[in-house]
Amino acid sequence: MTPEAQKKHAEKWQRIKDAVALKEPDRVPLNLHPGIYPIFNAGYTVAEVVYDTSLDKIKNAIIKYLNDFDPDVGTDVAQNLAGEGPAQELLDPKNNRWAGMPGNVIDENSFTQHVEFPILFDDEFDEFWNNRAVWTLGKAFPRTSGLLEPFENFLSSIPGPTGGARGMASLFSTPVYRKMIEDFWAIDEFYKVHAHRVAEANKEIEELGYPMIRGRGGGGSPFDGYSNWLRGTIWSLEDMLNRPADIQRYLDETIEVTLAGIAATKGVDEGKHVFMALHKGMDTFMSDEQYRKYYWKYLQQVILAIIDAGRIPYVYTEGRYNSRLDCLTEVPPGKVFYHFETVDMAVAAKKFEGIACIGGGFPVALLDWQTPERIRDEVKRLLDICMPGGGFIFEATAGMGNCKRENVEAMFETVKEYGVY
C-alpha cells in the first residue's frame, strides 16, 4: 500500500470507528451497499460477472465504482455469486436462482434470488429430533440440491452388514454415485481456486485505500435459520402457536452451537464488523411478546458474544422495525451498529442516542426513479435528523440496483458537502 493509500485508508477507517463509538468524525461516513450497481456502472451484465471465474470483471467494476464515488468502505468481490456460475450449475441448488443460469430463469441483470420453501414437514419432527443424520441425508439434502438427489434412496441401497466395504464400493461405483462424487471433487477444487482469487482481489482493493470492514465469526437470530431453511415463513409463524416446544428446542440447541463458534474466533479480525441480516423479526411477523421470546432473547446473546470476541455486531434489520427498537437498545453503549430499512429515523436517532450507531433510512428506490434535486433534499433531510452528535453512518435502505448515475453522484456529493461536522 502506498503512503497516500495508507493515509486514505486510515482516515476512512477512523471515520467508521468514530461513528460506531458514538463520536463525531470529521464528516458522516459513507457505507453504501453498492449491490449490483458497480456492474452496470462498468458496462457489464450481472450474468457476465457471475460466469467470469477469473473475477476480473467484478474486481474492475468495484474499483471503478470506488474511484468514481470514493465511499469510506471497500466492497468485497465475493457477492451476488460473482464468478460462481459454473460451480452453481454443479451444485444445482433448488432454492437459488442466478443471472445467466441455464434456461434464463431470471433476468440477466437480476440480483441472485433465494426461493424459500419448507424442507421439514409436519410428520418428520420425531425423525428430525431423534435421528438427525438420517433425516438430513435422506430428506433435507435431496430437497435442496439436484446434485444430492441420489441420497434420497441411499439408505435403502446400503448393503447389509455382511456386504461391508465391498458392497459400499459397488454402490458408490454405480453411474449415479460416481457422477455425484466426481462433481464433489470438481466443486471442491473450484472453490479452492475461487477463494484464493477472492482474497487476492480484495487485497488489491484494500491496498487502494478502502478498508474492508467485515470480519469473520458470523451470527444472527436462530429463528431465522428455523424459518428460512427448515419450515418456511408461513409454517414457522404458525409453529409459534402450534409447535412452540419444537421452536424452543431448536433455538436452545442452535444458540449453543452459534455461541461456541463465535467464542472460538475470539481475537480474530478485532474491531471489524460481523454482518448479520435479520429476516423474520419485522413488526408484522410476530407480536412484541413473541419477538422477545423467540427472537430477541437469542439475538441479544449473539450480539454480546460478538462484542466479547472483539468485533462489532453489524445488525442489518429488514422490513419495518419500529416496534422492536426498545429491545435493540438493550446492548452495551458504543459497541453495536444497527442498519434500518423501514423505521422512523427521527425516533431511532433519539432512541439510540448514547447507545448505538445507526445507519440506513435513505430509500434506495429514489436513486432509480427520482431527480438529483430530490436526492439532495432527501439526503439533507436525513442528515439533519441523524448526524447531530455523531453515531450515524450514511447508508441506503438496501443494495443498489440499476440506479441513475446522476442520482448516485448527487447522493455522494451531498453527504460529503452537507455531512461535515
Which whole number is the average pLDDT over 136-147?
Answer: 96
What ranges in 207-267 are assigned the alpha helix state H?
222-225, 232-242, 244-263
Is the separation of the CB atoms in 137 and 155 below 8 Å?
yes
Joined together, the cell numbers standing for residue 383 give 442528515
- pTM tops 0.85: yes
56-91 residue pLDDT tens: 999 999 999 999 999 999 999 999 999 999 999 999
Average pLDDT over residues 108-118: 95
Phi, psi of 358 (to 5 degrees): -125, 160
Q: How far is CA 102 from the centre of its chain?
A: 25
Mean pLDDT confidence for 294-312: 96
pLDDT at 155: 84
Q: What angle do CA 192, 193, 198 make, to 5 degrees?
A: 100
- Phi and psi at residue 203, to the nearest 5°: -65, -40
Is residue 106 scored above 70 in pLDDT?
yes
How is residue 163 annotated by DSSP?
Answer: T
Distance of CA 112 to the CA centre of its chain: 12
* pLDDT the model gives residue 219: 80
Our CA angle for 382, 296, 96, nearest 5°, is 80
Q: CB under 8 Å, gap of 24 or more: what pairs does 120-124 form?
A: 120/230, 120/231
Cβ–Cβ under 8 Å, residues 286 and 295 = yes
How many Cα neighbours within 13 Å face the side chain of 136? 6
Q: Is the dihedral of CA 312, 317, 322, 327 positive or negative?
A: negative
Distance CA 383, CA 390 (A): 11
Q: How confident is the model at residue 104 (pLDDT cuts 50, 70, 90)?
A: confident
Q: What is the spatial distance between Cα 148 and Cα 146, in angstroms, rounded to a whole number?
A: 5
Give 169: exposed, middle or buried? Use CB within 10 Å, 0-12, 13-18, 19+. exposed
Which pairs count as long-range contacts for 65-70, CB under 8 Å and 24+ apart, including other chains?
Answer: 65/34, 65/37, 65/38, 65/41, 66/205, 66/208, 66/210, 68/41, 69/32, 69/408, 69/409, 69/412, 70/412
**Percentages of the chain per state (helix, strand, coil), in multiples of 5:** 55, 10, 35
Q: What is the mean pLDDT of the chain?
A: 95
Least confident segment among 36-40, 215-219, 286-290, 397-401: 215-219
Pairing relation of β-strands 113-114 and 273-278?
A: unpaired
- Residues 166-220: pLDDT tens digits? 888 888 899 999 999 999 999 999 999 999 999 999 999 999 999 999 887 778 8
Distance CA(377)–CA(106), nearest Å, equals 35
Least trusted range by pLDDT, from 43-47, 267-271, 337-341: 267-271
Does the pLDDT at position 391 exceed 90? yes
- Determine the 3-state secondary structure of 240 from DSSP: helix
Residue 46: count other Cβ atoms within 10 Å of its Cβ: 26
pLDDT score recorded for residue 214: 87
Supply the pLDDT for residue 47. 98
pLDDT for 291: 96
What pLDDT shows up at residue 165? 87
Sign of dihedral through CA atoms 363, 367, 369, 373? positive
Q: What's the DSSP call for residue 396? A: B
pLDDT for res 158? 81
Q: How confident is the model at residue 247 (pLDDT cuts 50, 70, 90)?
A: very high
Q: Per-residue confidence at 162, pLDDT binned at 50, 70, 90?
A: low
- Nearest C-alpha neighbor of 221 from the set 192, 242, 251, 180: 251
pLDDT band per the 50, 70, 90 thresholds, residue 283:
very high
